[in-house]
Structure 1
């Protein structure tokens, strides 16, 4: 891998109010290592601070409310105890010279009552049970049919995102990213199979994009558009979501989001180059591109050829706390250990070796 091939990644960039020293950012990755109460710990602070040389850290999905939790041991940002925990993370990242945005993730129907603090039925656009199981403290359990949100509850959920964004900034985060991808609540409203509503939030494209736009507008109003990003994954079937109209739906959504002047749009590229080109042309601001499985030269070409302004990497950053130094020097990269991705302690979390570490590469 020639460092010359990667020159496009090392130019400074801006994403709204965020000044980035280069164009390689850390993608959000669920790690399931918070307390049962959803409070980030000192170990979480160490993990993120280790990776502060990336241009921006986008944290793991963080529930904006108790109803937003789907998985065990994920962090929240809806209580003062959680704010205190996130402040430790933000302070550690800033002390290491990094920048941090908290990803706000409401899982919607991808949940189980056993994993939530209140044990309530999951909520969703419609009462449609997702296929698949959820891991709980009692082992894998079939996900139950969710309860459809009322109009009043939809408005309250928008308010939950607004409040969570304010809490994130109070905790010292540089901004937030709204998770509108991967089959979670915002994505469920966009989809054709999870959203069977016939009111102003369902059926037509304009109605199905309404919730996502309302959440983005509320968060931007609360903390500033320059501190607000949003992540989308057009056509991604993960978590039992089906979209049959991506070439109509996502251009409409991006057109509706564009006037908000958000800090960035974070796209997960699913292989549809025509759609990527369309969305790139419609988005007037910074576009962060996540191209799963792509090598670094491919990601650099995305920047050099204008398909993206910034690129995000996931497991590459997970396994290499000193990723930027390794790439810049041409050093080999650690290999990620999938067995330690979710849950556990320091192993596979904070113990990946840095360059020159006596433990060597995995």
Structure 2
């Protein structure tokens, strides 16, 4: 084999920058799967699941609750007890043994939480007392959303401290870094958005003030674990869970102007057909950019390659395809057809079915199996 040959797909090219040394440019996107136990401790099948997908250049874990106050779902893993840290250590050890790299995504639910989903029965907190209008999932049934508690300035600061502490816990658990979930309607996104942030203090109002929470949070996490181990995910303009951002550009430009000098591991940015975030923000970000096609388009090989070739991304995150294709990079390398998407009913069940039972592609005679190639 000629090691100097150009890979058939740009997704397979190695990438090195800002402390990242990746064998390919494929990032497994964070995906909620809810296989932890009721104490938020990762279970053995989670170690198997992530190790099966260690062929990704980088894995970003499912969203992890940084505190009990930040929990959205029962069976959502956490990083705020020592039992949870020990459980995650089995996951990271398995990924590293398989040759992979993994960041922990720290996800605070904000107003998306519900008392029925918290072990302490606590009320969700958010920038402002603005509730979802729909119903939310609980363990037994859907329930009416509740009006969240509007965070005081002291609670804003203590929440930042909680997330920084969870980042330090992630390092003890063996993660290679952390990604702050500032996208898809979670707490930092709620501070950035028009309809969920009605504050008139230092954390609300003009664009620079709406960006302040995300700025202070990212700075605190970078101080806790190092900027080179800290990343941030954003989805400007994404209307998930009733988020409204009429004019995202000024807010996100202010945010990137403050964060670009920090030297973060990467910015994980979701594109949008209404506000073309990659086109607007790539020139404002000097570091590594992980691109994502966004909710409007399921990522395939062609769309992933276009993010690299046309949209300025350095790396590309792929989500749902990794569920039924644990050996996705090997399939790309061999030109093997991707397995069809898994049924939605398997995404959030609690057992191994639809989780660790997807086989790697069969290899041609005389070649190693795709799973072996991926690892």
1:319 aligns with 2:321: no
For residue 361 of structure 2, the aligned residue among 345, 350, 355 is 355
Residue aligning to 1:302: 307
Residue aligning to 2:89: 87
SS of the aligned residue for 1:101 comes to: strand
Paired with 2:343 and 2:11, the residues of 1 have a C-alpha distance of 26
Of 287-296 and 341-350, deviating more is 287-296
Check conservation: 2:129, 2:147, Cα contact below 8 A: yes
Structure 2: gaps spanning 5 or more residues: 1-5, 364-375
Q: Quickly say closer, same or farther: Cα 1:6–1:134, change in 2 above 3 A.
A: farther
Check conservation: 1:68, 1:107, Cα contact below 8 A: yes
Paired with 2:82 and 2:357, the residues of 1 have a C-alpha distance of 29
Check conservation: 1:27, 1:314, Cα contact below 8 A: yes
Of 266-275 and 317-326, deviating more is 266-275
Paired with 2:40 and 2:276, the residues of 1 have a C-alpha distance of 40
Paired with 2:231 and 2:198, the residues of 1 have a C-alpha distance of 27
RMSD of aligned residue pairs (Cα, Å): 1.4
| 1:147-205 Cα distance to aligned partner (Å, 9 max, x none) | 01110111101101110000001110000000000101000000111111110001111
Paired with 1:181 and 1:206, the residues of 2 have a C-alpha distance of 17
Paired residues, what number?
Answer: 354
Matches within 5 A, 1:47-126: 47-126=49-128
1:258 aligns with 2:253: no
Q: Deviation of residue 337 (structure 1)? A: 1.9
Residue aligning to 2:292: 290
| 1:288-310 Cα distance to aligned partner (Å, 9 max, x none) | 01114132122213213352000
Paired with 2:328 and 2:12, the residues of 1 have a C-alpha distance of 13
For residue 186 of structure 1, the aligned residue among 188, 198, 201 is 188
Of 53-62 and 335-344, deviating more is 335-344
Residue aligning to 1:345: 351
| 1:222-262 Cα distance to aligned partner (Å, 9 max, x none) | 11111111000000010111111212111111111111111
Paired with 1:307 and 1:271, the residues of 2 have a C-alpha distance of 16
SS of the aligned residue for 2:94 comes to: helix
Q: Quickly say closer, same or farther: Cα 1:306–1:238, change in 2 above 3 A.
A: closer
Q: Deviation of residue 273 (structure 1)? A: 6.6
Q: Deviation of residue 15 (structure 1)? A: 4.8
| 1:31-86 Cα distance to aligned partner (Å, 9 max, x none) | 01100110011100100000000000000000100000011211000110000000
Q: Quickly say closer, same or farther: Cα 1:273–1:15, change in 2 above 3 A.
A: farther
Paired with 2:118 and 2:176, the residues of 1 have a C-alpha distance of 28
**If the length of structure 1 is used for normalisation, what is the TM-score?**
0.95
SS of the aligned residue for 1:198 comes to: coil
For residue 235 of structure 1, the aligned residue among 224, 234, 237 is 237
Paired with 1:217 and 1:6, the residues of 2 have a C-alpha distance of 39
SS of the aligned residue for 2:16 comes to: strand
For residue 329 of structure 1, the aligned residue among 322, 331, 334 is 334
Structure 1: gaps spanning 5 or more residues: 358-362
Q: Deviation of residue 272 (structure 1)? A: 4.4
Residue aligning to 1:195: 197
Check conservation: 1:340, 1:348, Cα contact below 8 A: yes
Q: Quickly say closer, same or farther: Cα 1:138–1:274, change in 2 above 3 A.
A: closer
Q: Deviation of residue 104 (structure 1)? A: 0.1
**If the length of structure 2 is used for normalisation, what is the TM-score?**
0.92
SS of the aligned residue for 2:223 comes to: helix
SS of the aligned residue for 2:240 comes to: coil
Paired with 1:150 and 1:59, the residues of 2 have a C-alpha distance of 30
Check conservation: 2:278, 2:311, Cα contact below 8 A: no
Residue aligning to 2:142: 140
Paired with 2:17 and 2:196, the residues of 1 have a C-alpha distance of 32
Paired with 1:283 and 1:14, the residues of 2 have a C-alpha distance of 17
